[in-house]
Structures are given as C-alpha cells and as structure tokens.
Amino acid sequence: MQTDSADRIILGGRYRLDSKVGTGGMSVVYRATDMQDERTVAIKMLRHEYAEDEEFIRHFRNEMEATKDLHHPNIVEIYDFSQEDDAPYIVMEYISGITLKAYINVVQSMGWRDALNIVAQILSAVDCAHSHGIVHRDIKPQNILITDEGRVKLTDFGIAYAVTEGTRKAVGDSAGSVHYLSPEQARGGFVDERSDIYSIGITLYEMVTGVVPFDGESHVSIALKHIDGNIVPPHTVDPDIPYGVSDLVMMATKKDPAERFQTARDMYARLKMVSANPGYSFLTPENNIEDGAADIQNLESTEFSAPLVIKRESEERYDAGDSGEDRARQGRTYTDKELEISRAEIVRNVTMTTFAYVLAVVLGIAGIVFMVTRYRDLSKNMPRFTTVSYRIGNYTAMKAESVIADLAEKGITVVQEPVINDDYPTGYIVGQSLESGQVITSRDVLTLKVSSLSNSFVLEDWTDKDYREAGSALTSVGINVNYQTVASSAHKVQMVVRTAPAAGSIVAPGDTVTVFYSTGQLAEKVRVPNLLGLSLQEAELQLNLAGLSLRRAYPEPGMDITDLLATPTPSPAATPSPADETPEASGDITPGAANTDDPDDDASPEATVTEAPTPTPAPVIASATVVAQFPPAGTELYAGESVEIYFYNIRMLQTPKKLTLEYPKDAILPGSLINVRIESRSVTGSSAYSDIIFNDRVEAKDFPLEYTVNLPVNGTPARVNIFINGSLYRQVLVTAGTAEKTDER
C-alpha cells in the first residue's frame, strides 16, 4: 500500500483515496481518483474484519462478475476489482447525489408522477440485467442512487448471482432489505426475475405513501408479513393517489409470482398506460368513470411491443377491393330471365340451408345430451380408477392458513392438530405427519401440527345449522360470538352460512368467532348517485330511485348556522374598503375642515372625535343545495342502505378533540432536539384532506405534547401520522367516542 506526499492511500499504485463517503455493514466507500485515466471513481472496500470471510468475499466477486458486462445509463458501472493487503475492493463509477431512501426521508412522500419516472428508470435497468440472466435480489431505496441531474442509478449487485440459494444471510447491512423481500425470498424458496418486480412494487409503495407496507419489531416478524400479510392499497392510504398508480403497486406485489408482472417490460408497458391515464383502474374497473370508457378502451388495446406488420403490394390491393374481377362485377348488367332463375335458385338454396341447419341443431342437442350423461357417469366412477399425486414440501414455520388453502386447491384434505410451542407464533406450523418430498394423493390426509394457545381446539363446521345452536355451543367453551346476517338464497333463514375464522381453524377460549347466518334473500348492490348541487327533495328522489334512503341531512338547507361554527365567518361588507371610507365614517377630523354637524364648533381643534361602531358580522347561512355527501358518489352499497348529505362545508363543522403525545422512549433520538411532525388525514363527503397539526423541534422536557385533531361530522375516524426526526413513528386512528387507537402494522 502506497501513500502520496499528503499521506493519502494509493491502492494498486493507481487509485488515490481522497475521502470517505459512506459506510455499510460490511464495506466502506471512498471517493477516489484514478490517476491513470484521470477521473473520479468510487472505491468500495471490504472491511478488514471480514477480509478472511469467504462468504463476504464471494459477495464482492459476485457484484463484480454480475455487472462487468452491464453497460446501461441507469446502472452504476463497475471498472475494476482487485485486492490490497488481503482486503478486496471494487472500483466503480462515482455518483454525485443521494440515495432514494434519503430522498424519501426528506420529502416523506413524493408526487406520483415523479415516482413513476423513477420506477421507469429502475425497470429499464432491471430489464437490462434480466436480459443478461442476472436477478438483482436486493432492490431497495438504499441501493438506488439519484444523481444531481436527476438520473436514477441502480447499484449493489452483491448477491445477484445466488439465485438458487435461500434467503441471504442477515449481515449488518441487511436491516433495510427485509422490508423489500419478496415472499419467496422470505421463505427461502426459488428466486427469479419476478422477485425483483415485487421489490420494485414495495419501493413504489414507499415513494407514493412515505411508508413501507410492512414493519415490525424484528426481521422475522416483517418477513412473515411478506408471506401472508395483506398490503393496504396505496389509494386507501392516500385517496389522492390515482387508482392506476395504486393498481400498479398491487399488481407488482402479488404473493404468487405467477400473478405479478412477469417481466420488467410488462410492468413498464403498464406504467406507460397508467402515466397516460392515471385515473383508470385496471384491477377494479368498477371504480372508473363512465365518461372515460372510450379512451380507456383505446388505451387498453395499445400494444407497446407489437411487431410492425408490412403488407405485400398484392394484399393491399385485395384489401382495397380494387381487383380486376371486382371492377368487372361492378360493371355487369343482368336480363329479366337471368334474374328469375336467380330468384328460384335463391329460394331453393334458402330451403336446403334451413333444413340443414335444423337437422344440425337437432343432432347437436342429442349429442350434447349424450355427452353430458356419459360425463356424469364417468365423473361418478372416475375416483375409483384415477388418483392425482403431489409431492409435499416442508411447511414448518409457514402460516397454516396459507398452506391449507394451497393444498385445498389440489384436493388434499388437511387436518390441524393444535400444539403448544413457544418457538413459533400462534397459527404457524411446527410439524407435519408426512416428511417433505413424500408423495401424497388426493385420497390421503395430511396432519399439520400448528402452534396454539393452551386449551385450543379445532372449530367445528356449523354450516346449515341454526345460528343460535352454534352460538350457544361456542359460548359454552369460552368463545366470544358475534352474529352477522348475510343475504343468501342458497341457505335457509337463520341457518349458518359460514364462520370467521373458517371451519377447521384452531381457536382458543377468549377468541372471537363471527357467525354469519342467512336472511333468506339475496340483496342487490347499487351505486350511490351523485347528489351534489341538488335540493333536499331532489336528493331524496334520486336516492329512492337508486334503492337507497336518506339517513341525515345536515344542517338544514338555508338555516342560520352561525352558532355551529367555532369562529363565525364575517360578512365581506362588515369591513369597509379604504376607498369607501370618509372622515365621518372613520371617525377622523381633517385639520382645517369645518364640522357641519356642529355649527358652533367652527373647526375647533378641541372637537370631540366619535368612533364608528363595530359592524355586526352577517349570519352564516347553509346552502340550499347539497355541497357534500357520504359515502361519495359511485360507492357500492346494498339496496336499502342510507346516505348522508350536507348543506355546508363540513370541514368547518368538525368536532375538535385534544390528544397528547408522550415522550417516544422506543424511538432512536440522537441529540437533544427532536423534530416532531403530526399530520391528520380525514375523509369528508366525497373528498379527503390533510392537516399538519404540529411541526416543530422540541426537547424532552416539552413532553407530553398536546395537539388537536378535527373529527369529521359524519363519524368517520381521522388517521394521524406521527413522524419523529423524519421517520414514521406511529399511526393512530382517532374517533369521536374513543381515545386514539394504534393501528396494527
């Protein structure tokens, strides 16, 4: 190892280390100068404590081998790989900028158009890697750089080639990786290009919402959520996110890789569609506005990668109907005799054709009846002669509910056996009756041992039994029972339709089981009409026509609502404009001017000045037409349900609720000053809005902090996000009747 006159280290006699720019769990990154090519480079050097660890050295070599042939504007280029004093290092392109993670921490959540622009560049980089047979396997905002010019650069291919191994070893810098792991990576299963698609989807989720979909106290708990947790759609988190962008995330993060975008190009094509028409939902078309249907159909038919089809010259003439035979036929004339013969031929041809069609239909019906009868006979006897075999896997440490659902699709019967086990969370498999790799048929039964609480038991199937009988039996063994009606024509009145959790699930005393029982009739779903701008009578009529009812009209149209507002709104006429003010109106006396109201005054300087009276604010009157509604137009409800309408801006008719924030002992708080930001998001009528309740730097002595949340008058809760030093610390739901409730995340 050499040094220059300024005692700066020179690696390999070529690379001079100028300054340290980053530190990771297993490496240190330096800004360096390539003295041979006279350019600035970045040097990633393995820490000395890992220099003898073959696993870490393999990561370094993999990164070099994976990217040495990748030349793409959105991939950090690798120049060289060498070793100095047994410490390997990589020489790569130097990027002046910040990581995407740092950018998200600063802005919290970016505009969806900026997010799509970044994802488009990531997909372009990933498509290049996939075309070379390389799966990145560790895509996350920490490995995505944004240059000062705004270009996106994908880096860190350290585990790219290990595509047949299990989940990578949890080294020091993998703490952020678990938030972006695909379900198959979390299970330790096979990984392919679709795993990168999942990680990109999670990254897009964080960009548009400001938070990751899954978080927890440990890496294991987060990984388990990736396996069987449900992602809340971004549009639900923030209604300002268009449906198309939300669907793009949900499609990319499907649990089953077969249901995701299959390639980066597939996702890029859909991204272009979403960018052109962000409000169009391709996963839930019922959310779309009918007026845009034509444009949506045209957009859906767009093929971004369709090959160019060139017709031959003869084909073009044929398509244009310009052949010589056509021209001759167009100029042909017929005699009366020819026309008479033609009519006879037409009648004969029609008769024969009709007879042939009738005969074909009769024979077809007879054939269908025969085939259906034979099929039913064969179906009854088929299980006696055929069986379908499957090779079972190792289901230990997997969620029992997910495994049972997967095996049920294959026709395999699964029996759960509750066992007490402190090593796994409740509901996870700790053992199985057949070993992994053993062949099982649809006639066999597989027993799964599931971690459970004391006194747990398997829930009985109560379908088509009286719901009161089911409730009584469950209550007698310590189960809390809820009842809910379901409109169903397939089950008799008061008979159980299903339970939640489902029959066969493991429950314990103290658990809650919801019993759904039939009302005997199938209810119809209807859409809430748009009531904005209608009078009370017109709104009621529209609701009745839609099969709905009016629950509340608030306040009454045209009523004086001054007392309902926290701060009455002054009338614009209450404050005179400067142009309208006169000496008399303002109470000022102009020096040297005569006061005509008092002839004895004669402009005396001792004249009394009379102040103008304070104007009385004009009353606030509710609108005569609907200005907001809840639920909003387009929402699906069951026929007979009700809707609320409002005749004033309901943001001004909210109920304030005071809350406190205790000192965040469980947060990492470097330094004495703590940056606290509290945001509230509420839905009122057909729109959503956000308020910044608190945003300041405070000290520990300032806690507890008091803040006020404005609750909507329609009774919906307000969602409060609390950020500590730029990171999301807690999410709470605030309702009028209860204290704040922490969301389960």
659-707: per-residue pLDDT in tens?
888 888 776 666 678 889 898 876 554 445 567 888 888 888 888 999 8
- Nearest of 720, 722, 721, 710 to residue 676 by alpha carbon: 722
Residue 595 has pLDDT above 80, yes or no: no
The gap from C-alpha 18 to its chain's centroid, in whole angstroms, comes to 43
Number of neighbours of residue 712 by Cβ within 10 angstroms: 21
Helix orientation angle between 100-107 and 193-209, rounded to the nearest 10 degrees = 30
Q: Which residue matches tokens 């990680």? A: 199
Closest CA to 22 of 98, 115, 119: 98
Q: Specify whether the CB–CB gap between 183 and 214 falls below 8 A.
A: no
When pLDDT is cut at 50, 70 and 90, the band that residue 272 belongs to is very high
The pLDDT tens digits for 610-651 are: 566 666 778 888 899 998 888 888 888 777 778 889 888 776
Q: Is the pLDDT of residue 210 over 80?
A: yes
Q: What is the pLDDT of residue 686?
A: 42
Strands (E), 503-548: 506-507, 512-518, 525-527
Over residues 544-568, the mean pLDDT reads 78
Which range scores top for mean pLDDT: 182-196, 247-261, 637-651, 721-735?
247-261
Q: Is 213 a residue whose pLDDT tops 90?
A: yes
Q: Could you tell me the pLDDT band of residue 321, with boundaries at 50, 70 and 90? A: very low
Q: Tell me, what's the pLDDT at 409? A: 67
pLDDT higher than threshold 80 for residue 492: yes
Is residue 28 predicted with pLDDT exceeding 90? no
Is residue 490 pLDDT above 50, yes or no? yes
Residue-level pLDDT at 315: 31
What is the band of 289 on the pLDDT scale with cuts at 50, 70, 90? low
Instruction: Look up tokens 């360096």; give the residue.
Output: 32
Mean pLDDT on 441-456: 81
SS3 533: coil
Q: What is the mean pLDDT of residues 319-334?
A: 37
Which residues have CB under 8 Å from 549's CB, separation 6+?
Answer: 543, 640, 641, 642, 643
Q: Band the pLDDT of 242: cuts 50, 70, 90.
A: very high
- Which helix (H) or strand (E) segment holds residue 706: the answer is strand 705-711
Q: How much helix, strand and coil, in percent to the nearest 5, is found in the chain?
A: 35, 25, 45
Residue from 18, 37, 127, 138 carrying the catalytic annotation: 138
Give me the chain's average pLDDT, please: 75
Position 201 confidence tier, pLDDT thresholds 50, 70, 90 = very high
What per-residue confidence (pLDDT) applies to 571? 38
Looking at residue 506, its pLDDT comes to: 83
Residue 218 confidence (pLDDT) above 60: yes
Quote the percentage of the chain above a pLDDT of 90: 17
Q: Which two tokens stand for residue 571?
A: 């009338």
Residue 187: in which H helix or E strand, if any? helix 183-187
Reference 247, options 236, 255, 256, 258; nearest CA is 236
Count other Cβ atoms within 10 Å, centred on residue 126.
Answer: 29
pLDDT value, residue 339: 40
Please give the single-letter amino acid code of residue 198: Y
| DSSP H/E element including 698 | strand 687-698
Inter-residue contact 515 to 608 (CB < 8 Å):
no
Q: Which residues of 639-652 are buried (b: 16+ CB within 10 A; e: fewer)?
A: eebebbbbbbebbe
Which H helix or E strand runs over 629? Answer: strand 628-630
pLDDT attached to residue 376:
62
Instruction: Answer yes or no: are the C-beta atoms of 179 and 222 closer than 8 Å.
Output: yes
Give me the sign of the Cα torsion angle 123, 125, 130, 136. Answer: negative
What does the pLDDT average to over 186-209? 91
Span 408-430, mean pLDDT?
Answer: 79
Looking at residue 609, its pLDDT comes to 53
Q: pLDDT at position 327, please?
A: 36
285: cis peptide before it, omega within 30°?
no
CA distance 508 to 663: 36
60 has a pLDDT exceeding 60 = yes
E-assigned strand segments in 469-606: 480-486, 496-500, 506-507, 512-518, 525-527, 549-554
Pick from 12-21, 80-89, 116-125, 427-436: least confident = 80-89
Flag whether pLDDT at 599 surpasses 90.
no
Bond into 617 cis (ω within 30): no
What is the rounded distance in angstroms from the CA atom of residue 132 to the CA atom of residue 66? 9
Of all helices (H) and strands (E), which one includes residue 22? Answer: strand 15-23
pLDDT tier for residue 575 given thresholds of 50, 70 and 90: very low
Residue 384: per-residue pLDDT: 46
Strand, coil or helix: what is 152?
A: strand
Angle between helix axes 193-209 and 264-276 (nearest 10 degrees) is: 30
Average the pLDDT over each of 172-181, 345-354, 730-739 and give the range with the smallest value.
345-354
- DSSP states of 603-633: T-TTPPPPPPPPPPPPPPB--SS--EEESPT
Question: Is residue 358 pLDDT above 90, yes or no?
Answer: no
CA distance 521 to 486: 9
Ranges 103-107, 139-143, 599-603, most confident: 139-143
**What sign does the dihedral 443-444-447-448 (CA atoms) show?**
negative
Q: Which residue has the tokens 């990771």?
A: 24
Active site residue 37: no
pLDDT tens, position by position, 129-172: 998 888 888 899 999 999 888 899 998 876 554 333 333 333 33
Q: Residue 322: what pLDDT?
A: 38
- pLDDT interval class at 221 (50, 70, 90): confident
Output the pLDDT for position 7: 58
Residue 348 has a pLDDT of 59
More confident position, 332 or 270: 270
Does position 578 have pLDDT exceeding 60, yes or no?
A: no
Q: Coil, strand, or helix at residue 404?
A: helix
Which among 202, 190, 125, 186 has a CA at the least distance from the CA of 156?
Answer: 125
Q: How far is CA 188 from CA 195, 227, 424, 429, in A?
A: 12, 11, 17, 16
pTM above 0.75, yes or no: no
**DSSP result, 228-276:** HPPPPPHHHH-TTS-HHHHHHHHHHT-SSGGGS-SSHHHHHHHHHHHHH
The amino acid present at 119, given as its one-letter code, is V
DSSP 671: S
Task: Among 516-520, 535-539, 585-589, 608-612, name the most confident range.
Answer: 535-539
Over residues 43-56, the mean pLDDT reads 75
